[in-house]
Structure 1
Amino acid sequence: MGIEVSADNVVTINDQHEKGVDTSVAGNPNKSRFKGIPLFHVFKRNQRGARRDDGNPLIHALKDRRGFSILPFWRNLIMSRAKAILEKSKAELEGFDFVMPMPSSSPFCAQFAEMVSQVAGAPLLASDFLRKRTVGEVLAEVKAHPPKVRPGKTSSLASQVHAWEKMSPESQYQAKEVDLSLRPLFSGFAMDGDIPDVQGKRVLVVDDLFATGSSLLSVREILGGQMGAEVCGLCFLSGT
């Protein structure tokens, strides 16, 4: 029960194999911990098959980006399976006070978070009190407090800093444009606007794809470190 990607980047579900991502109800969800954060993964990515981008085409198609697409039949199928998988974990999901989508320019994450909210029976917490940091803010922090990197990544960090120096400081920081190994070094979000009271509350942060966990760590630092909430994560697709 995996995915197929055609030559013109149309994504479909193939129940004859599990290449790229296990899209079955029986084989999901999966659970793990990341830096002390409990994580639910609705669908599990893998490296079976010839493609090395694993389940990413599925997310790209659901978000209608990077030239990938998915027909309504297959979209409805994968989302109905996602709901069935969430229902399997209903007892655990009912313990949360809020469900919050990760801030995203695509509506998919918010739509998926709404599904999670319905299953969990917990209200949605709007993430509009968070904003993406600017390149200037991230660059200033890196220069004031240079992060420690492995010896082999020193040049990668220097190249990234050089790239940011050539950009407008008002540009939004984009984690997807940063080397995977460097992303955890940078905090991508900051508080802005009306701050909700979540002191002592359990917040389930919903994201579409777990890659390096940098976004989740950044949000945990704000919700947990600055606002006093307990944070758990739920991702549509797991890491590999």
Structure 2
Amino acid sequence: MGIEVTKRKEDTGDVYYDVSIDLNHNDGVDMSLAGNPTVTNVDHLEIFSLFRRRRLSTTETDGNPLIYALKELKNYTINDADKKIMWGAAGEIFQAWTCPWKPSCVVSIPSRHSVSFDLASWIAGYLKVDHISVPMVHKKTVAEVLSEAEVLKDSDGVPARDLKAFKKQLSRLSAASPGKIFQMKEIDVSVRQYLQPWRVSEESKDFIGHDFLLVDDLIGSGASLSTCANCLMKEGHSVVGGMSLFSPLDRELAQKASTTRHKRRRGRKT
């Protein structure tokens, strides 16, 4: 089960891209029971993704036509019937999967769009645990992230292999409005791990003692979920794992698996 994208031009001249679910192939997004869920490990956080994201075109980056359609971005659309098919496939995958954790509640990371929130509520329903609807973290501003990043750079907190890319990214970030909300997706994947985009909310203090399952809609590098988990754990919260609707691209999944195996081999005693 995959996706098809059909270009549609209105009489007004506006162009739209209609995303539909195709039962005959797994292109774009693999929604098959056999191919899912996938698992990604990022900075000691285990993340399960219900759908495997596959490249639909050579120009595709972190995004995907289906997530664009669900968020109503870039003139991508999806009808209710196809949404129902998608959530039905997600339900089959979830029910066939054995959850490795025992969370007491499910929390989505903040987003301008409702996909993460809806997914968290949906997962909580399946697991029969609480869905926390208030935000546990807030996104920092560009100025806040830059201030911390400069300290990290000056304290030799970034390895030499990544320092050039890190400085280049800071230079670009400095050109943005200081009060703008920081967006991790605008940062090069190779240096995302060195930036902390979150600060805990006042409301989070009421949930100390709970075991959180964190939810995001799509995984690129996994940095948004892992940095959110680290932010919460530094303030005394327990995070048992992460989940997303969409995995990293297949190529990125293969690279992460290779990196994990390499780390394990290096760690073996002889």
Same fold (TM over 0.5): yes
Quick one: which of 119, 123, 134 aligns to 1:116?
Answer: 123
Contact 1:187 1:214 in 2 (8 A): no
Quick one: which of 117, 120, 135 aligns to 1:128?
Answer: 135
Structure 1 counterpart of 2:24, which letter? Q
Contact 2:36 2:52 in 1 (8 A): yes
**How many Å apart are 1:140 and its aligned residue?**
0.7
Q: 2-side partners of 1:210 and 1:24: how far apart?
A: 18
Matching residue of 1:16: 24
Q: 2-side partners of 1:5 and 1:120: how far apart?
A: 33
Q: Secondary structure at the match of 1:100?
A: strand
The list of structure 1 runs, each at least 4 consecutive aligned residues, that deviate by more than 6 angstroms after superposition, is none
Quick one: which of 142, 147, 166 aligns to 1:140?
Answer: 147
Matching residue of 1:227: 236
Quick one: which of 205, 216, 230 aligns to 2:214?
Answer: 205
Please state if 1:160 is matched with 2:184: no
Contact 2:152 2:158 in 1 (8 A): no
Contact 2:109 2:135 in 1 (8 A): no
Q: Secondary structure at the match of 1:232?
A: strand
Contact 1:135 1:172 in 2 (8 A): yes
**How many Å apart are 1:149 and its aligned residue?**
5.2
1:93–1:126 CA distance, 2 compared to 1 (3 A): farther
Matching residue of 2:255: none
Quick one: which of 188, 195, 198 aligns to 1:186?
Answer: 195
1:200–1:161 CA distance, 2 compared to 1 (3 A): same
Matching residue of 2:245: 236
Quick one: which of 62, 70, 79 aligns to 1:71?
Answer: 79
Structure 2 counterpart of 1:112, which letter? L
Q: Secondary structure at the match of 1:181?
A: helix
Number of residues of Structure 1 aligned to a counterpart in Structure 2: 237
**How many Å apart are 1:191 and its aligned residue?**
1.3
Q: 2-side partners of 1:50 and 1:137: how far apart?
A: 36
TM-score (norm 2): 0.79
Q: 2-side partners of 1:211 and 1:122: how far apart?
A: 27
Q: 2-side partners of 1:198 and 1:183: how far apart?
A: 28
Any unmatched runs of 5+ in structure 2? 8-15, 250-270
**How many Å apart are 1:190 and its aligned residue?**
0.5
TM-score (norm 1): 0.88
Matching residue of 2:39: 31
Q: Secondary structure at the match of 1:137?
A: helix
**How many Å apart are 1:198 and its aligned residue?**
4.3
Any unmatched runs of 5+ in structure 1? none
Contact 2:4 2:21 in 1 (8 A): yes
Structure 2 counterpart of 1:74, which letter? D
**RMSD over aligned Cα, in angstroms?**
2.2
1:165–1:31 CA distance, 2 compared to 1 (3 A): closer
Quick one: which of 93, 113, 126 aligns to 1:85?
Answer: 93
Q: 1-side partners of 2:30 and 2:133: how far apart?
A: 30
Q: 1-side partners of 2:186 and 2:202: how far apart?
A: 26
* Structure richer in helix, relative to its length: 2
Q: Secondary structure at the match of 2:232?
A: helix
Q: 2-side partners of 1:194 and 1:114: how far apart?
A: 18
**How many Å apart are 1:95 and its aligned residue?**
2.1
Q: 1-side partners of 2:146 and 2:84: how far apart?
A: 42
Matching residue of 1:96: 103
**How many Å apart are 1:87 and its aligned residue?**
1.8
Structure 2 counterpart of 1:60, which letter? Y
